[in-house]
Structures are given as structure tokens and as C-alpha cells.
A and B are shown apart, each in its own frame.
Chain A
């Protein structure tokens, strides 16, 4: 499986085990900024850790502090290795934009239609600096 994705925020190419969220998430209150663990007890992927994974996000909800949580994950080395979003989320991705301004290394964020997420579930995935998303065979 190979998809050419649109780059939302440029960053370091990344690879890791795919974590495909099945429901939108609020980063603030939903993800622990210290560990990257999904803390929202009502979220279907509660308990999973986003650090080091290629994170597929069908959508985001809730607090306007999502950017702060994502930047803190970057600063703590607990960010996903790449982010794949169904649509650009200006609040969340601001965390990457500001981290870049601060001179910190950030993961790439790309866009992919959420209907294509399932093909990557459970396997290793790499996201190239050109935004291409490739499932390892």
C-alpha cells in the first residue's frame, strides 16, 4: 500500500507502527503530554501510546490547547514519528509550526483521506519527507 499525500507541515520523515484512531480526539485532556499515552477514558484507543507511532487522525475535537500538547510532546521526545490527518487542523498543527520556529526537530504532517486509513492498520508504516506513505511488507 502506497499513497502520495499532501504535506501539511514539512518535517522529519518518520516510520513506526501505525496507530489508526477510530474516533476524533482532543489532544488536551485526551493525550498525556509527558508520555504520549491516550488518557481519554471514553476514547476507543484509550491506553495506547502515540509516541514513536505513525498516527492516523480521522479528526480532532475539543480544546484549543491541542497545539500546546503536541509541541510539548515534540519537546519531550514523545511525539508520533509522523502524523497523517484526514484534513488540515490549524489548531493541532500549530504545535508543529511553533516548534519549528523554536528550532526543534518536528515530525512531518501529511494529509490522507480517512477512508484510506484502514489499509495501514496494525502494520509498520513509513512517511517520506515528500509526504509519501508506505506500508512495510
Chain B
């Protein structure tokens, strides 16, 4: 079936202004996917304001020149600059100017200056069952899985085009029948103490992404709600190792009160029984550095740290002086609370470098030292840091990351699966 646009949509697509360009981009994507119609959306999260090169800036400015404005609530993902001035970005001219221009263009299009990859912890939480157009793979998977709102994985450019038109192609995860689970990812063979540990979730997410790819799965065998930050870490790791846009956890996520309710058929197409050996292998796969004697830095906050995660960080540091810096990436929403009672100053005095509005794998912040070793508790940082920063990575729990930063060398104490 070919795409049928309404007369109103056709009229917009025929116009030479920014809205016309946005409508043509949405319509072309729909045609590519063989989608018959567009549907209205109620919100957008936009990943396009990060500077990857001049082409993105020129595109956003073309929309601004064409008088385009977003038609729905639209938050912004990270940019390449720390507009709050917490950290120093080593981006030189002319790239710096272009990075600022793209951020400015998205502001002029009417987007909220949230500058975070965790908009769902910055007050943008669409209701269950609503259709939205979100970009940024971790935000997409959280929005679908934890909030139960419906979005596909919107790429850069399509997200803003959907926000301007207020429409999205009707396909994929917007359709309830495509949200049902076909695979079971059974973690009941893992110890309860492991599942209760912070380190379990990014590791399991990484394994889950590798095992299920872009299929929809349900995790079985989780005793209680592991907490929102654990689900955030699981989803982010799953979306970076596979093309995961939606997961379910029986008894935890809103569309899966139990396994039977969300399964597509009477039986799953496959059951992946997770063993401690599989977990150990997935965990080893998150590190690229082979037993280094020292580390050069720690990076945390992908996705951006919540206030609860800052509480843990502060408690683990316990006022000690760090031997190597901890880069703590967050959004301005979390910064507001940190500023309030002098906590930011205390953390910085210990040697924490707070990074706001952006993060260490999307823009140059960490020194370019060559053969550096970075420790992280983030499955997503572990995945992207080697390619984007040149640092080899060592994966560890937050507690071990902090101990290692205090001593300047890797320390491992975490629980086994």
C-alpha cells in the first residue's frame, strides 16, 4: 500500500518553506518504509542539535530561514558545548562556532533547552499509550519500555521534521501489535544478590542487545522493581549493543504485568536462558583494556546522571581526594539541585569534573593523551569511548570506579553473577 497524505498534508508538502521541507522528509521516510499514512504525535525529543559536522548546522538553519516552528513539546538531547560552563570543551574554531550555531538554530525552532539524553528524568514523561517521536537510542528505549509511550527510533532530522509537522509515519512501535514480545530472556539462573547489584543492569543490557537484536523480548526472573536508574542503564546498554527500541520486564514495566499478557503467541519463539558464564563473557566484552596497571580517568553519566546517582557518587567518594578525575555527565535539570546546597563545589573539590548539557563521548573534553585508559560503569560509554575518544575502557561498578579514581589504579570488588 502506498502512502496517502491528507489534502492538508499535501498542501504543506508542496510549500517551499521550512514546514514544507519537514513534511517532505516525514513523507519520504514513510514511503521508504512502505507506510500508508501519518499519525499525530504529542511530543518529540530531538537528537539533531549535536554537532557532527557542518551539514547538520546548515540543515537546521535552512529550517529556521524557512520560518519553521515545532508544533508539539520538544526537548533537546545533548549538544557539543557545555553552555552551563561547568567543563571546558576542547573544540576549536571554526567547529566551535558551528556547534553553537546548530544549538542556537534548534532553540529558534522552539525546542526546550533541556540538553539532556535523559529527558524522562527532566520532567518530559509522555503518558502511557501516547504517540511521540523521540530520538537518542537510550531515550527511545526508556520512553517505550518504562513509560509505555510509543515511539520508533527516530534518527536525526526525522525527529525535528516530525516535531514541526506534528506527525509521524504510522508503523513499527506505534502499532500495539508490534509491541508484543517474541523472545523470553530468562535471568532466573542468576543470583538474587547479583540482580540487586548496580553492575548487573548495564551488563545484562549489553547481553540482551546482543542476543535479541531488534526483536522484542521480555525479561523473566526479576524479583522486584530494580529502580528507574537500573532500567535506564539496561536500556542504554541494550540500545548500543543491539537495535533495541523496546523491552519488557515481567512485573516491572507497564505493558508486561506478566509474561503471558505481552507475548505475541501462546509460546515464545525462543527462550534465552542467561547463565553466569554468559554474563561474565558479556561483562568482559565491555572492556577493551587488558589488565592495565593504572587508569587515567573515570567517566560516568551515560545516560546523564540523576540526582539519586549523584547521591551515590557523593557517598562513595566520602570527601576523599581523587587521584584521577571522575567526569560526571549530567543535564541542567540535575545541576539545579546540586548547586542548591554547595554539593557541586564539594564534588569538584574532590576532583570530580561535572559536565553539563553534553558528555565526554560526543565532544572533546578529556585530554587527548594517546593510549589512555578510561574506567566506566556505563555500558554505553564502554561501547562508544574507544571509537570516539581513543581511550581504552575498563568496565566496573560505580563503587569500583570511585575506589579506582581515588587510588589511580583499577580496583575490582563487585559480586559475581
Note whether A and B form a binding pair: yes
* A24 CB, nearest partner CB in chain B, Å: 8
Residue ID in chain A nearest B54 by CB atoms: A75
Q: Return chain B residues, CB-CB under 8 Å to A74.
A: 55
Q: Assess the A101–B241 pair: CB atoms within 8 A.
A: no
CA of A123 to CA of B242 in the docked complex: distance in angstroms?
Answer: 30
Q: Assess the A61–B243 pair: CB atoms within 8 A.
A: yes
CA of A34 to CA of B24 in the docked complex: distance in angstroms?
Answer: 28
Interface segment among B132-140, B222-230, B260-268, B402-410: the answer is B132-140
Q: Assess the B137–A75 pair: CB atoms within 8 A.
A: no
Range, interface on chain A: 35 or more
Contact flag A102-B53 (CB < 8 Å), given A65-B156, A67-B156: no
Q: Assess the A101–B156 pair: CB atoms within 8 A.
A: no
CA of A71 to CA of B153 in the docked complex: distance in angstroms?
Answer: 18
Interface segment among B184-192, B324-332, B347-355, B384-392: the answer is B384-392
Q: Interface digits, A13-50 against B, CB 8 Å rule (1 contact, 0 not)?
A: 00000000000101011100110000111100000000
Q: Is the interface of B mostly helix, strand, loop or mixed?
A: helix
Q: Assess the B388–A29 pair: CB atoms within 8 A.
A: yes
Q: Return chain A residues, CB-CB under 8 Å to B91.
A: none
Does any Cβ of A come within 8 Å of B154's Cβ?
Answer: yes
Does any Cβ of B come within 8 Å of A76's Cβ?
Answer: yes
CA of A71 to CA of B54 in the docked complex: distance in angstroms?
Answer: 10
Does any Cβ of A come within 8 Å of B72's Cβ?
Answer: no
Does any Cβ of A come within 8 Å of B73's Cβ?
Answer: no
Contact flag A94-B25 (CB < 8 Å), given A71-B55, A74-B55: yes
CA of A68 to CA of B240 in the docked complex: distance in angstroms?
Answer: 17
Q: Return chain A residues, CB-CB under 8 Å to B101.
A: none
Q: Return chain A residues, CB-CB under 8 Å to B33.
A: 88, 90
CB contacts under 8 Å to B, within A61-110, are: 61-69, 71-72, 74-76, 88, 90-95, 97-99, 101-102
| Of B29, B54, B213, the contact of A97 (CB 8 Å cutoff) | B29
Does any Cβ of A come within 8 Å of B21's Cβ?
Answer: yes
Q: Return chain A residues, CB-CB under 8 Å to B158.
A: 67, 90-91, 94
CA of A101 to CA of B62 in the docked complex: distance in angstroms?
Answer: 10
Q: Return chain B residues, CB-CB under 8 Å to A124.
A: none
Q: Assess the B288–A91 pair: CB atoms within 8 A.
A: no
Contact flag A9-B47 (CB < 8 Å), given A40-B387, A76-B53, A94-B25: no
Does any Cβ of A come within 8 Å of B221's Cβ?
Answer: no
CA of A60 to CA of B155 in the docked complex: distance in angstroms?
Answer: 12
Q: Return chain B residues, CB-CB under 8 Å to A39.
A: 387-388
Does any Cβ of B come within 8 Å of A5's Cβ?
Answer: no
Contact flag A69-B243 (CB < 8 Å), given A39-B387, A102-B59: no
| Of A60, A63, A75, A92, the contact of B55 (CB 8 Å cutoff) | A75
CB contacts under 8 Å to A, within B139-189, are: 140, 152-159
* B117 CB, nearest partner CB in chain A, Å: 11
Interface centre among A40, A60, A64 (most CB of B within 10 A): A64
CA of A26 to CA of B214 in the docked complex: distance in angstroms?
Answer: 13
Does any Cβ of A come within 8 Å of B52's Cβ?
Answer: yes
Q: Return chain A residues, CB-CB under 8 Å to B140.
A: 64
Does any Cβ of A come within 8 Å of B372's Cβ?
Answer: no
* A4 CB, nearest partner CB in chain B, Å: 19
Does any Cβ of B come within 8 Å of A8's Cβ?
Answer: yes
CA of A61 to CA of B141 in the docked complex: distance in angstroms?
Answer: 14
| Of B32, B50, B52, B239, the contact of A9 (CB 8 Å cutoff) | B32
| Of A26, A30, A88, A101, the contact of B24 (CB 8 Å cutoff) | A101
CA of A75 to CA of B209 in the docked complex: distance in angstroms?
Answer: 32
* B413 CB, nearest partner CB in chain A, Å: 27
Q: Assess the B56–A62 pair: CB atoms within 8 A.
A: no
Q: Assess the B55–A94 pair: CB atoms within 8 A.
A: no
Q: Assess the A90–B29 pair: CB atoms within 8 A.
A: yes
Q: Assess the B242–A61 pair: CB atoms within 8 A.
A: yes
| Of B25, B54, B154, the contact of A101 (CB 8 Å cutoff) | B25
CA of A34 to CA of B55 in the docked complex: distance in angstroms?
Answer: 11
Contact flag A94-B243 (CB < 8 Å), given A67-B157, A67-B158, A68-B48: no
Q: Return chain A residues, CB-CB under 8 Å to B155.
A: 64-68, 90-92, 94-95
Q: Assess the B29–A65 pair: CB atoms within 8 A.
A: no
Q: Return chain B residues, CB-CB under 8 Å to A99.
A: 55
* A128 CB, nearest partner CB in chain B, Å: 20
Q: Which 9 A-B pairs have the closest CB atoms?
A: A91-B155, A72-B53, A75-B55, A67-B155, A68-B156, A39-B387, A29-B384, A68-B52, A98-B157
24 pairs, CB–CB < 8 Å, chain A vs chain B: A29-B388, A41-B288, A59-B243, A62-B383, A63-B137, A64-B135, A65-B47, A65-B52, A67-B155, A68-B155, A68-B157, A71-B56, A71-B59, A71-B157, A72-B52, A72-B53, A72-B54, A75-B54, A76-B53, A90-B33, A97-B25, A97-B32, A97-B157, A102-B55
Known contacts A64-B136, A64-B156, A72-B53; 11 further A-B pairs (Cβ under 8 A): A26-B240, A29-B384, A33-B53, A41-B386, A61-B240, A64-B140, A65-B52, A68-B55, A68-B156, A75-B55, A97-B25
